[in-house]
Chains A and B, each alone.
Chain A
């Protein structure tokens, strides 16, 4: 099915006669959005259908048992289920089971351990050394808790202050060697703690998520014309690269912006087709993985199963150390962690 295409907005050298040309031995110069005329859109390539949305890594039924994951039904409240997860090496994963006030450690397809959490209101989790985890509570406690292997809260770092005007604007948590970072508005990262976990005296801000290869900062923005603009800002300096990814349907939201160690960028977007008039019935929902290379040129698209459940999730996709894209999907039976080879 036609999904969309990438229209790269880059400065291109023009050969005499006006026809755009590209020096064979060199890449197109990097630049921010070109003000040159946009070339006509190429035909939208068909997406390669996924195989059931990826290989199953782990599955859990709903419940509060040791190997289960919690879900709360909505009775005039927000339906909740695992809000986030972090894939690890060799089939390991952390699943934030906040409804049951715990983090489930998954290995070999099963829950091997649980780390208790002090409340149900955590939204994201990150792996730390020594079996510890960092847990983000942006709505109630408005802090990041560093939790030991046995559930003891070793430290709590307040979100408020500096570059974070409202804790509710935090959109994800990232643990790096240089410290803890939180993303704000899916726009920028703010460093709130150093590598030792101590609150940062002055909060650094970077224009996007760190790419897995460490070369750039990545950012994605939905525009009004069925597109998502992806920006890659080189950490070494220089102008950012930009590419506009176009879809056949209006974009409802971006579900993921990840990258792997080779420099590939993985963009997942949810698109929707509604009836043009009230009550705007939903005709079609699609979820598409677009794989971009380091220069943000499109490599391929993969259709993924669209989300059909109401339970809120903050993180549905994350890249693992193996470069694969992992997803945590929900249905009436339970939650499933899958591995997608991009």
Chain B
């Protein structure tokens, strides 16, 4: 039944085809070879469906075939037999979506015959989109030509049969097959076979599918000798795809800066390089101004250009240079140039090789405004080198007592003066105790202070009135002081010891005692001398 039905179908189709073949040529739309092949590719994988020719471009719903055709069974809504496939690929007699059947459905018998919609070609003249058909004794097959192998086997798209479905593969072309070419094929000349017709190809002799034309001069890069149109031939252009007439190549790597992602060749890409044109692997940027030190004329950003900056990488607006060695204090390890590093120099800004520090306050004398650390600034300290908080200056000579050499100004240096603070040029010291009489509160050394001693110049521990002044010495009010004369009176020499009070005579009872005193005093003088 299938056979008869098929025969009827064939007859009906052919009958229609016989009329159609002649009449529908006007509906035949021009088609390029690439379009034919592009449509053919979408059939691969679909099932063989005898008597049909439709499928989907999304590859879905392949359908399936089983059995032996024409007695085969098909399931699904899509599939094609060999002729239905070619008719759809060729869009004959008129265009329709691949998802719809072509009407009429031409068979291999149709294709093997003559038509104004297709014509015969030599077997060896096949081109993309042509077909090869065989039909004999009710049997026939047709497939589409895409290309050939080295042996001239055909690279073919075909709906091969129930077991195979619609496939792409190489196959032999036996002599029983005849070549067919669709009419109105825009025999697009594509000399280089890149899929772009020559009349649209910006390089029609060189395969360039992408049609890239960097400089837009309508000559594709693939055949343009100056792709970027900068006047430099590509063979010599260090950036053939970037306009750079100057050909600057900072790192001389033969890749111009215009296309080099690392112009200075320091391994840091330009986009991140703080000095894209100066090689600097360290990427140092002292002042963080995004301009690396290698190309920044003011590395520390202190407003002083590096060429003149005495500390180029340490900000120092003042440019202070204590020792004038050309290296600013901000970066000089020894600002005062005294040989002592600043970190340990007790006067880092003042040269002091001796590092003298009188008051040991870690601040060297050379820069200490209070050397002796007595709280009195040196400028006002009357003894800047001798601590004297009280600033005493007994003789008001502006030199503090602590450092005064002759405090009392008696001509005798302090260190020898028996009374440094009391002028005693004669250095008298009656009792010879080292304290001059001028400052000795017990001149005679008798243990009784001068103020209480009735004879302050004569030793009288018992306070006997040895100086005959009528003052027993016990009088707390003092009484008359005894005056001694060195030379005894005549009476004394006569055996008395009269000590003459000023203007008066003395009792001779004291004469011997007076003589004794004289002897004692003389001895003392001798001792003293």
Contact = CB atoms under 8 A, between A and B. Distances in A.
Interface of A: 72-80, 119-121, 138-140, 166-171, 185-187, 219-222, 250-255, 257, 270, 272, 274, 278-280, 282, 285, 306-310, 312-314, 316
14 contacts: A72-B161, A75-B6, A77-B48, A78-B82, A78-B160, A138-B169, A139-B168, A170-B170, A221-B150, A221-B151, A252-B124, A254-B151, A308-B176, A310-B136
A314 B172 CA distance: 7
Interface string B157-180: 011111111011111111111110
Given A76-B83, A140-B163, A280-B122, 11 more contacts: A74-B141, A76-B69, A169-B155, A222-B148, A222-B152, A252-B124, A253-B172, A254-B150, A280-B121, A280-B178, A316-B172
Interface residues of B, number: 55
Contacts of A168: 155, 167-170
B174 A274 contact: no
Contacts of A72: 68, 161
B120 interface: yes
Given A76-B108, A119-B163, A139-B160, A278 B120 contact: yes
B175 A270 contact: yes
A187 B151 CA distance: 9
A62 B169 CA distance: 26
Contacts, number: 157
Nearest to B175: A285
Interface string B118-155: 01111110000000001010111101000011111101
Contacts of B152: 222, 251-254
B123 A171 contact: no
B160 A171 contact: no
B81 interface: yes
B150 A274 contact: no
A185 B170 contact: yes
A222 B107 contact: no
A111 B257 CA distance: 76
A77 B175 contact: no
A309 B161 contact: no
A313 B172 contact: yes
Interface string B33-71: 000000000000000101100000000000000001110
Contacts of B139: 73-75, 79, 310
A250 B175 CA distance: 12
A280 B181 CA distance: 13
Contacts of B153: 171, 186, 253
Which 5 pairs, one residue from A and one from B, show the smallest C-beta to C-beta distance? A168-B169, A254-B151, A77-B161, A120-B163, A74-B139
Given A74-B140, A253-B153, A280-B123, A307 B168 contact: no
Nearest to B105: A76
